[in-house]
């Protein structure tokens, strides 16, 4: 971009751009510094149910990229139809999270990716068995070698590739971001009023930054205690500190219209209910029906461009590939 065009662009966005710099929410940036080969491999792994014991459950089963990166179920369905203990958080924009899982027990996406594969209540496999499967598939062997330059596949390569794919799952260009970037008519008066309420009521104390959340742990139930329908105790399970009980990672509100139901226990079915509960329990504030509707209208402007890619075709198993065991008793 030459200087004249740059200056013209800045003049065009004018005061809005200066304004946006003061906002507690920043626009989502498209992903940068991406290894495209690793993304293509990670995408296949993300969609491959052969990383589960049953051969039926993939990352995409519970973090469904057709559905806002979640499963839209209160708590997820794991191996043998086990009921999960917690609501599946969206994978969208998860690269912006301070840590992964509701309790932050994984430092980053790579550390997260291995968890569900080996969790007996989720994909119920082991890392060793997953590698055995991948090693038996020439299409994978070649692709791993091309990307990592090694003769053996290992779980670090698997989780690194999945994490690289997940880094691409950001959702820029929401109407709210268009407004932040200077398109003044991107939001309606009601939506803007909702945003003002969101700021003035204190929601932004926790829901801020590009992901509108995801960057801190906070207690669920500050003013009033929260009666969870989940046994999860939050951050204290990681830190061992009693003071961290019921501290959970603040969820991102990006694409929140698509990521129902809400809260770590998935107890809130609607945005309206979630806004009402958050207002009362976290802020000691009872939103009126009209205020609630305005905040909800604002929240719906946070839906960005969903990841768009061709459904991957997985390299087929061979005669040597261990077969899935969906109905094995043990």
Q: Which of 23, 40, 122, 224 is catalytic?
A: 122
Tell me: cis bond preceding 266? Omega within 30 of 0 counts.
Answer: no
Q: What is the nearest approach in angstroms of a copy of itself to the Cβ of residue 65?
A: 6
> What is the token pair recorded at 124?
């119920």
Judge whether 242 and 262 are in contact, CB under 8 Å.
Answer: no
Q: What is the nearest approach in angstroms of a copy of itself to the Cβ of residue 44?
A: 8
Judge whether 109 and 94 are in contact, CB under 8 Å.
Answer: yes
| Contact residues: a copy of itself, CB under 8 A | 47-50, 54-56, 61, 64-68, 71-74, 77, 80-81, 83, 257-258, 260-261, 269-272, 306, 308-314, 316-317, 319, 323-324, 326-327
- Phi-psi map region of 234: left, alpha, beta (phi>0 left; psi -120 to 50 alpha): left
Known active-site residue 122: yes
Longest CA span, the chain = 70
68 vs 214, beta carbon nearer a copy of itself: 68
197 vs 271, beta carbon nearer a copy of itself: 271
Q: What is the nearest approach in angstroms of a copy of itself to the Cβ of residue 126?
A: 19
Q: What is the nearest approach in angstroms of a copy of itself to the Cβ of residue 328?
A: 11
55 vs 104, beta carbon nearer a copy of itself: 55
CA distance 44 to 56: 14
167 vs 235, beta carbon nearer a copy of itself: 167
Based on the number of CB atoms within 10 Å of its own CB, is 172 exposed (0-12), middle (13-18) or buried (19 or more)?
Answer: middle
Q: Which residues are designated catalytic? A: 122
């Amino acid at each position: 971009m030459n200087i004249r065009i740059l200056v013209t662009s800045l003049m065009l966005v004018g005061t809005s751009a200066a304004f946006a710099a003061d906002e507690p929410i920043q626009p989502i940036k498209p992903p940068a510094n991406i290894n495209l080969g690793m993304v293509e491999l990670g995408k296949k792994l993300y969609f491959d149910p052969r990383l589960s014991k049953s051969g039926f459950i993939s990352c995409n089963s519970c973090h469904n990229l057709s559905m806002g990166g979640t499963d839209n179920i209160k708590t997820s369905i794991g191996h043998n139809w086990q009921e999960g203990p917690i609501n599946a958080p969206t994978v969208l924009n998860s690269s912006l999270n301070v840590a992964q899982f509701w309790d932050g027990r994984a430092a980053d996406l790579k550390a997260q990716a291995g968890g569900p594969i080996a969790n007996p209540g989720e994909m119920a496999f082991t890392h060793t068995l997953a590698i055995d499967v991948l090693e038996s598939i020439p299409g994978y062997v070649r692709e791993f070698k091309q990307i990592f330059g090694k003769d053996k596949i290992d779980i670090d390569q698997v989780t690194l590739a999945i994490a690289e794919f997940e880094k691409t799952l950001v959702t820029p260009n929401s109407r709210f971001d268009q407004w932040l970037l200077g398109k003044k008519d991107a939001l309606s008066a009601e939506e803007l009023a909702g945003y003002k309420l969101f700021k003035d009521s204190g929601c932004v104390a926790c829901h801020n930054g590009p992901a509108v959340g995801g960057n801190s742990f906070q207690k669920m139930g500050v003013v009033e205690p929260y009666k969870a329908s989940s046994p999860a105790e939050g951050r204290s399970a990681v830190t061992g500190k009693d003071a961290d009980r019921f501290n959970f990672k603040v969820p991102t509100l990006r694409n929140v219209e698509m990521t129902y139901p809400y809260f770590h226990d998935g107890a809130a079915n609607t945005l309206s209910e979630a806004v009402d509960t958050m207002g009362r329990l976290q802020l000691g504030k009872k939103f009126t029906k009209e205020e609630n509707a305005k905040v909800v209208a604002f929240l719906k402007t946070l839906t960005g461009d969903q990841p768009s890619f061709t459904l991957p075709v997985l390299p087929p198993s061979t005669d040597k590939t261990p077969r899935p065991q969906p109905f094995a008793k043990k």
